[in-house]
């Protein structure tokens, strides 16, 4: 169904029993977020809040709360979008089925954004930032934030919508040092198209015009989070997914989405930053306050009866988990087509997506010899860590499976397969002093840290302990040890004090364990709560891979320099 507005989508969901109206007065300070969080956890419907304290506007959330609901919203276009992506990935195969490809032409035409010169600006009412529902999501947040923004910028060297970028970069509406109604903060991280545009604007010593669209047809929101190749317009994708061309015009030199519920226009000037944050983010921690670009507000517009969409992020899974599932549903085999030799890549949501990748590749370099160690896998690993946002990964576990029985989505089985084959003196490959996700605070500084590739291939080297090894009973310095899964143990110690204290504890631990039989337990994670880490797979993934910096936090029993 081609929705022309957010409200049209919400009414369709209500008609089909997938939306609930909340008529009671709800406080935008923490209460809205709490209601959303509980409904999402229960697998509940989309929500339309009709009575928000201190604001005349309504708000909606949990629109993409389940993959099933997302697929329902795009039920009339999803298959065609998948087919178009397949054509892009394999154009030769498309030539073999010309009639099927011709049938996609009407869908492809929706990729052309439509500039409507007749639509007058009076269709929008001009408002202030302070009129927007001031939603605070977590207690220590620095102010009210936009959590589903579509931030639009154009290439300063190539004007026009087809050279524009639409990205979901959080926006801080209030708090800190921002002048109320005149300034807001833009937070964007590494590998984001808006950064390319600002770099060019800075070089030209001119401000970057920015438009923040909020709401509108749901395809516009999804387009803002799609990992599209540089140069491919998100507005084109929004038109194809939504079954309706992206409609826009310009007011005062700023692009305006004619179907958005709200539009904030403004400029970012070279070298002008202000503190942004803190913000309770999708890794399950607060991202702290740092200087980020300052946007000076020009004008703010709202539709008649506008609806403010929002979501709540935090420790996975959250609604953004469903975004990831929808993206995978749409793109299908895009990564294996892009990277030769790759069979699967899984960005693990429970670890916060970016920290942990699991991959299955190929080993084809020496068919004339019995391959017993990673070779092609290392080439593939470097390619993965050089590809788009996959490059933000900290931990990459990669193997090959000649029998084609392994899946990266069966996480425990994947780890067991790797650990049975890995050579711990050969198969760990560190990348030090490199870039990390801006939101990850386990590194040496903002945007900086390390990565590690675990690449395992060849015959089975060990069988994994399926019960706790007796060797752990000799350790008296630690409160308890718990088996997480075969071959992986959580060892509890005191909380972190300093790097020096940790090094002393590691030396004592090494002395205890260096002469024990622990080959069946190749991975030990050091935690302050072993019961929590071992309680379930999600806890293990979150504790082990979001809270560590590989080059500093991986140690080996009886280790030595190679």
Per-residue pLDDT at 99: 42
CATH 3.40.1670.10 segments of the chain: 319-456
Structure confidence by residue, pLDDT tens digits, 257-292? 999 999 999 999 999 999 999 999 988 999 999 999
The two beta strands, 183-186 and 290-302, are antiparallel
pLDDT band at 102 (very low <50, low <70, confident <90, very high): very low
Query: Which percentage of the chain shows pLDDT scores above 70?
Result: 92
Mean pLDDT confidence for 420-445:
88
Mean pLDDT confidence for 531-538:
96
pLDDT band at 121 (very low <50, low <70, confident <90, very high): low
Phi and psi angles of residue 531, each rounded to the nearest 5 degrees, phi first: -65, -40
Q: What distance in Å separates the CA atoms of residue 410 and residue 412, rounded to the nearest whole number?
A: 6
119 pLDDT above the threshold of 80: no
DSSP class of 310: -
Which has the minimum average pLDDT: 308-312, 406-410, 418-422, 555-559? Answer: 555-559
Q: What distance in Å separates the CA atoms of residue 446 and residue 434, rounded to the nearest whole number?
A: 11
Instruction: List all residues 6 or more positions away from 288 whose beta carbon is below 8 Å from its beta carbon.
Output: 277, 278, 441
239 pLDDT above the threshold of 90: yes
367 pLDDT above the threshold of 80: no
Per-residue pLDDT at 92: 45
- The most distant pair of C-alpha atoms in the chain lies apart, rounded to whole Å, by 81
Quick check: 462 and 479 in contact, CB under 8 A?
no
256 pLDDT above the threshold of 80: yes
Quick check: 205 and 199 in contact, CB under 8 A?
no
Which has the minimum average pLDDT: 135-149, 188-202, 393-407, 526-540? Answer: 188-202
For residues 493 and 383, which has the higher predicted lDDT (pLDDT)? 383
Per-residue pLDDT at 443: 85
| Size of the chain in residues | 562
Quick check: 228 and 111 in contact, CB under 8 A?
no
pLDDT band at 470 (very low <50, low <70, confident <90, very high): confident
Question: Distances from the Cα of 158 to the Cαs of 135, 155, 163, 342, in angstroms?
Answer: 36, 5, 6, 35
Closest CA to 12 of 78, 60, 50: 60
DSSP class of 423: -
Quick check: 420 and 462 in contact, CB under 8 A?
yes
Quick check: 382 and 396 in contact, CB under 8 A?
no
Per-residue pLDDT at 331: 78
DSSP secondary structure of 510-562:
HHHHTTS--TT--EEEEES-HHHHHH-HHHHHHHHHHS--HHHH---TT----
3-state secondary structure of 15: helix
477 pLDDT above the threshold of 70: no
Mean pLDDT confidence for 63-77:
95
Per-residue pLDDT at 58: 98
Per-residue pLDDT at 190: 63
- The torsion of the CA quartet 282, 284, 289, 290, rounded to 10 degrees, works out to -50
The class (CATH top level) of 319-456 is alpha beta
Instruction: List all residues 6 or more positions away from 329 whose beta carbon is below 8 Å from its beta carbon.
Output: 67, 70, 71, 78, 82
Q: What distance in Å separates the CA atoms of residue 438 and residue 409, rounded to the nearest whole number?
A: 26
Token duo for residue 138: 């977590």
For residues 228 and 96, which has the higher predicted lDDT (pLDDT)? 228
- Cis peptide bond prior to 124, omega within 30° of 0: no
Instruction: List all residues 6 or more positions away from 515 whose beta carbon is below 8 Å from its beta carbon.
Output: none
pLDDT band at 522 (very low <50, low <70, confident <90, very high): very high
Average pLDDT over the chain, rounded to whole? 89
98 pLDDT above the threshold of 60: no
The two beta strands, 171-172 and 286-287, are unpaired
DSSP class of 489: E
């Amino acid at each position: 169904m081609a929705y022309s507005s957010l409200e049209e989508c919400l009414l369709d969901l209500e008609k089909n029993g997938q939306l609930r109206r909340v008529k009671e007065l709800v406080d935008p300070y923490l209460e809205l977020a709490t209601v959303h969080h509980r409904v999402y956890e229960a697998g509940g419907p989309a929500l339309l809040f009709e009575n928000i304290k201190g604001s005349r506007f309504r708000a909606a959330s949990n629109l993409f709360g389940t993959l099933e609901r997302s697929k329902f919203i795009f039920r009339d276009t999803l298959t065609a979008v998948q087919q178009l992506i397949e054509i892009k990935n394999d154009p030769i195969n498309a030539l073999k089925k010309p009639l099927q490809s011709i049938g996609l032409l009407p869908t492809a035409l929706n990729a052309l954004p439509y500039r409507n010169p007749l639509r007058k600006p009076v269709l929008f009412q001009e408002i202030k930032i302070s009129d927007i529902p001031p939603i605070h999501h977590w207690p220590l947040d620095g102010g009210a934030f936009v959590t589903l923004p579509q931030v639009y910028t154009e290439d300063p060297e190539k004007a026009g919508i087809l050279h524009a970028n639409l990205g979901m970069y959080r926006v801080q509406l209030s708090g800190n040092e921002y002048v109320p109604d005149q300034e807001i903060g833009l937070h964007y991280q590494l590998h984001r198209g808006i950064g390319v545009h600002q770099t060019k604007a800075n070089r030209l010593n001119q401000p970057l015009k920015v438009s923040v669209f909020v709401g509108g047809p749901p395809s516009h929101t999804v387009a803002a989070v799609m990992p599209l190749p540089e140069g491919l317009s998100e507005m084109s994708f929004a038109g194809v997914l939504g079954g309706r061309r992206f409609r826009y015009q310009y007011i005062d030199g700023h692009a305006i989405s004619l179907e958005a519920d709200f539009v904030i226009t403004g400029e970012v000037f070279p070298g002008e930053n202000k503190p942004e944050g803190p913000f309770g983010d999708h890794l399950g921690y607060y991202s702290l306050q740092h200087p980020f670009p300052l946007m000076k507000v020009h004008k703010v517009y709202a539709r008649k009866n506008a609806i403010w969409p929002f979501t709540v992020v935090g420790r996975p899974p959250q609604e953004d988990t469903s975004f990831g599932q929808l993206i995978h549903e749409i793109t299908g085999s895009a990564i294996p087509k892009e990277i030769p030799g790759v069979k699967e890549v899984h960005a693990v949501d429970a670890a916060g997506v970016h920290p942990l990748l699991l991959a299955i590749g190929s080993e084809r370099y020496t068919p004339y010899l019995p391959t017993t160690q990673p070779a092609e896998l290392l080439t593939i690993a470097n390619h993965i860590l050089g590809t788009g946002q996959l490059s933000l990964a900290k931990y990459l576990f990669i193997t090959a499976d000649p029998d084609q029985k392994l899946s990266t989505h069966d996480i425990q089985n994947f780890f067991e397969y790797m650990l049975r084959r890995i050579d711990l003196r050969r198969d760990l490959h560190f990348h030090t002093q490199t870039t990390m996700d801006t939101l990850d605070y386990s590194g040496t500084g903002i945007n900086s840290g390390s990565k590690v590739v675990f690449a395992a291939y060849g015959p089975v080297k060990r069988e994994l302990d399926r019960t706790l090894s007796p060797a752990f009973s000799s350790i008296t310095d630690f409160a308890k040890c718990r088996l997480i899964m075969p071959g992986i143990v959580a060892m509890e110690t005191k909380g972190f004090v300093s790097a020096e204290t940790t090094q002393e504890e590691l030396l004592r631990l090494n002395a205890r364990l260096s002469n024990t039989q622990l080959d069946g337990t190749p991975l030990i994670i050091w935690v302050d709560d072993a019961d929590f880490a071992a309680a379930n797979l999600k806890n293990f993934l979150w504790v082990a891979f979001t809270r560590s910096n590989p080059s500093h936090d991986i140690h080996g029993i009886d280790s030595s320099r190679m």
